[in-house]
Amino acid sequence: MSDRLGIWMIGALGGIGTTIAVGARAMDRGLVSHAGLATLRPEFEPLGLAPVGDMVFGGHEVRSSDFWSSAYQIAKLSGSIDLEIIQKLRPELEQMSSRIRPGTAIHCGQAIEGLTDEGHVRAHHGLRQAVDEIRADLAEFRAEAKVDRVVVVNLASTEPDVDHAALPQDAAELEAVLDGDQVERIRPSLLYSYAAFREGCGYINFTPSTAALCPAIREVAIKAGLPFMGDDGKTGETLVKSALAPMFKYRNLKVLSWQGYNILGDRDGQILAHKDNLASKVRSKDAVLQGILGYPLHTHVGIDYVESLDDRKTAWDFIHFEGFLDHRMSMQFVWQGCDAILAAPLVLDMVRLTDLAMRDGEGGALEHLACYFKSPIDVAEHDLHRQFHELGRYLASKGLAATP
């Protein structure tokens, strides 16, 4: 069995997708360290995970660009990618760009449609044709790249929220929705995930777009014996929350209020400036605290778009809590980071672990990857420490002596 792994990214030329591709190649060339990638720690070596340097990248994109141009723009605007590094990688980045295909924007909302470029969005004649074209792209990629396994990762902009009752609830209903062109009941992420599973790919939903792994889609994946996980990568403020909230719980300090405020730029912030797209993001960020603490409290997450920040984001959190003698105190923290730099290594870790599951014939929700998500599928535990222990137990079952 080949160790060459194909990574197909939805929204390939966005900040995260570009940073993933550049980072993988830069690490392989010894231009940067392995910082941020947990699965490249020495204790993971016995698992025989797919080498990062052997990963082959492709994907769908609705904008006119390429990996080199996108990386150059990031280098100039935020500096999170070093210009000298991408100069050295230019031939590889240009070669990778040949595997980018036009994406679909069916029923994705005005915010996302406003970012699309003419000629880079396929004009489909029905939902079934759209799925067939995505499947054809994946099949072509698998054959051309000469990889045995493909993991599809959804990195696209957050879609408008959708009523879960409107989404297809089982595989039969899903087929009827596709055949009947019931566009109002789907989102692009659903088409991508359905096509991925029909083509035998694993799937990671790194966005809050819950249509990607709705009940009908999950049924398709489980019947096919394919692994998946989501939703919404845990990279910044929520990561800190899930690590910090247990401290209050363990010390029996009652949290009265936890107020958060986020500002960010880039396309992600631009999309989240639209109310319909913001709803699912806020829900995924806001659900963590009550799940950890076990009681209702005042929580609020504010998100504002600040164009000048580019891919930088800042979160300010205020925590009001009650201690011994019912005395009230407070804590504040500020988290400042680069979104793509925080997200890219998580995706590479999850891709390698999803590939491991595929090699071992494991299907369904990969619950041991819960530590990577704000709203982990089929997992009620939000305590980051306990989530890591679950990952450790899974890895121990694979014979790993030293768990994370």
- pLDDT (tens digit, 9 = 90+) per residue, 319-358? 999 999 999 999 999 999 998 999 999 999 999 999 999 9
Residue range 248-267: mean pLDDT, rounded = 91
User: Is 70 exceeded by the pLDDT of residue 173?
Assistant: yes
User: Is 80 exceeded by the pLDDT of residue 382?
Assistant: yes
Task: Of 82-96, 268-282, 341-355, 357-371, give the lowest mean pLDDT range.
Answer: 268-282
Residue range 144-172: mean pLDDT, rounded = 91
- Residue 271 CA to residue 148 CA, distance in Å, equals 35
Higher pLDDT, 79 or 112: 79
Task: Say what the pLDDT of residue 1 is.
Answer: 40
Task: Say what the pLDDT of residue 64 is.
Answer: 83
Task: Say what the pLDDT of residue 26 is.
Answer: 96
- Determine the 3-state secondary structure of 154 from DSSP: strand
pTM of the predicted model as reported, rounded to 2 decimal places: 0.89
Domains of the chain by start residue, with CATH:
5-232+341-397 (3.40.50.720), 237-338 (3.30.360.10)
pLDDT in tens, 273-325: 555 555 555 565 667 898 899 999 999 888 888 888 887 889 999 999 999 99
What is the percent of the chain where pLDDT is above 90?
71
Tokens of 295: 């009681």
Q: Are strands 149-154 and 5-10 parallel, antiparallel or unpaired?
A: parallel
Task: Say what the pLDDT of residue 261 is.
Answer: 92
Higher pLDDT, 267 or 304: 304
Task: Say what the pLDDT of residue 120 is.
Answer: 62
- Residue 366 CA to residue 20 CA, distance in Å, equals 21
Contacts of 395 (CB under 8 A, 6+ apart): 44, 47, 368, 403, 404
User: Is 90 exceeded by the pLDDT of residue 159?
Assistant: no
